[in-house]
Amino acid sequence: MDTHTDTHACCVEWSCAVIGCRCPSWSEDEKLSVRSVNNELHFYEDNDFNVISNKLHMQKVSDFRLSPGGPPSKVAVYVPGSKGAPSFVRLYQYPVLEGSTAPLANKSFFQADRVSMQWNNKGSAVLVTASTEVDKSGASYYGEQTLHFLSAGGETAGVQLQKRGPIYDVAWSPGSAHFVVVYGFMPARATVFGLHCEPLFDFGTGPRNAAYYSPQGHILVLAGFGNLQGHMEVWDAVKFKQVTSCGERRAGSGGPVPPAPLTRLSPQVSKPQAPDATHFSWCPDGEHVVTATCSPRLRVSNGFKVWHYSGAVLLQQAAPAGGELWEVRWQPRPPGSFPQRPVSYQAAPSGLGSTQATPTTAYRPPALRHLPDTPTSSLVRNLDSTCTGLYLYWTLPVLDSTCTGLYLYWTLPVLDSTCTGL
């Protein structure tokens, strides 16, 4: 380890002899950091990397996750099984790391070549998705997955899924009160579970492989991207009513899981879809989403669309001829910047409608094709100063080979003044 005192230079650097070793992690307040070293976790306080404040010694530890939220920080530690011994995950609360009573919770399980650990926002519970490389039953080419639950209060459980097949996605609600799992052979099932791993609501089956909660947690989007055709379902995550089905929905055996007396469906507002989408993200206001087709995942039909959650397309932009869209990011905002609004079941007004093909545009000289289309440019001149816009990374073929592209900032005047932009 080398340390430096120059404030503009690297302050510390380590070498790692193991391929795929985990990078150091920091707590949310950045006062605690931890890194894995052989069979130990080293903890550092106040970014003083000259002094190891604490150690957690655990034979063959291979992964860890620090909890979000404020102190006291917790850490989830994974040790893979070997020679007939099971794998296990343990939770600790810093700085109590030694002794038989130190673990807050312990969960052992077999059939795990690797795991993915997800804390909820409060740091009170963690979900562990365990995966194997090979499905010994031969039912799946992609191995097997199981889901496990651990709470800081000591409760542990295996999440019982009602359909065989892979686990495509697991997502905590922002309020940390429940989580949703998308799982099973296609058409996939989706179920919401509570903190005792009890099923609260079942969405039935459909062409989906991803789940996205709004930042406020009041809306849930179930979507089918990748090798699926971009169908999206927008649900009221408070009342568990369907707001929008964006794309054709296959019939399923969905409905509330007894004994929860929840409403099954509300009228559909619209049926748009986002084919070939490789990116989906919520705006911090919890009212808008962006879908995009980006390179290098797909090098054709690059572009993005901004939607209202009710299904209306508010803005769309295709990449210039010969260009590529590499990344789309919403401009970040501090938590709590936007209060939760009542869920609307009416489509937002839009001049673009909810589904349409890429519009035909007039010829533009190659030297001007990296600029926004004329309609967008005219809107920029009338921009409301309260609306911020989109950061986009475009490759620009009109530039020479030493310049790969530009991060462009797109203003979004079609959104209201409370929207932050991308």
Q: Are 116 and 79 in contact (CB under 8 A)?
A: no
Q: At 340, list the tokens.
A: 């939760």
Classify domain 105-410 at the CATH topology level. Answer: Methylamine Dehydrogenase; Chain H (2.130.10)
Determine if the pTM surpasses 0.85. no
What SS3 class is residue 99? coil
Please measure the distance between the N-terminal and C-terminal CA atoms of the chain and give it in whole angstroms. Answer: 39
**Contact yes or no for 208/221 (Cβ under 8 A):** no
Calpha distance 141→373 (Å, rounded): 45
CA 374 distance to own-chain centroid:
34
Do residues 196 and 175 make contact, with C-beta atoms less than 8 angstroms apart? Answer: no
Task: Identify the CA nearest to 41 among candidates 54, 31, 32, 50.
Answer: 54
Number of residues that this document lists for the chain: 422
Q: Are strands 32-37 and 40-45 parallel, antiparallel or unpaired?
A: antiparallel
Q: Is 379 helix (H, G, I), strand (E, B) or coil?
A: helix
DSSP string, 123-182: SSEEEEEEE-SS-TTSS-TT--EEEEEEETTS-EEE---SS-S-EEEEEE-TTSS-EEEE
User: Per DSSP, what are the bridge partners of residue 220?
Assistant: 213, 235
Alpha-carbon torsion angle 62, 16, 46, 79, nearest 10: 10
Q: Please identify which residue in the block is written with the tokens 């380890």.
A: 1
β-pairing, 390-395 vs 324-329, is: antiparallel
Question: How far is Cα 341 from Cα 338, in angstroms, rounded to an integer?
Answer: 9
Domain assignments of the chain as residue spans, ordered by start: 105-410
Biggest CA-to-CA distance, the chain: 73
Residue with tokens 């002094």: 51
- One-letter amino acid at 371 equals L
For 223, the 3-state DSSP assignment is: strand
Q: What is the pLDDT along the chain (422 residues), one digit of tens a residue?
A: 555 555 667 777 777 666 555 678 888 888 998 988 888 888 998 888 888 899 999 888 888 999 998 889 999 999 888 888 888 999 999 999 888 889 999 999 888 888 899 999 999 999 999 988 776 666 666 678 899 999 999 999 999 998 888 999 999 999 998 999 999 998 999 999 999 999 998 888 988 999 999 998 888 999 888 888 888 888 888 877 666 555 433 333 444 444 333 334 333 334 557 888 888 988 888 888 888 888 888 878 888 888 888 888 887 888 777 777 888 888 777 878 888 888 877 667 665 655 433 444 554 555 455 555 433 332 222 223 334 455 555 444 433 443 334 344 444 444 544 445 45
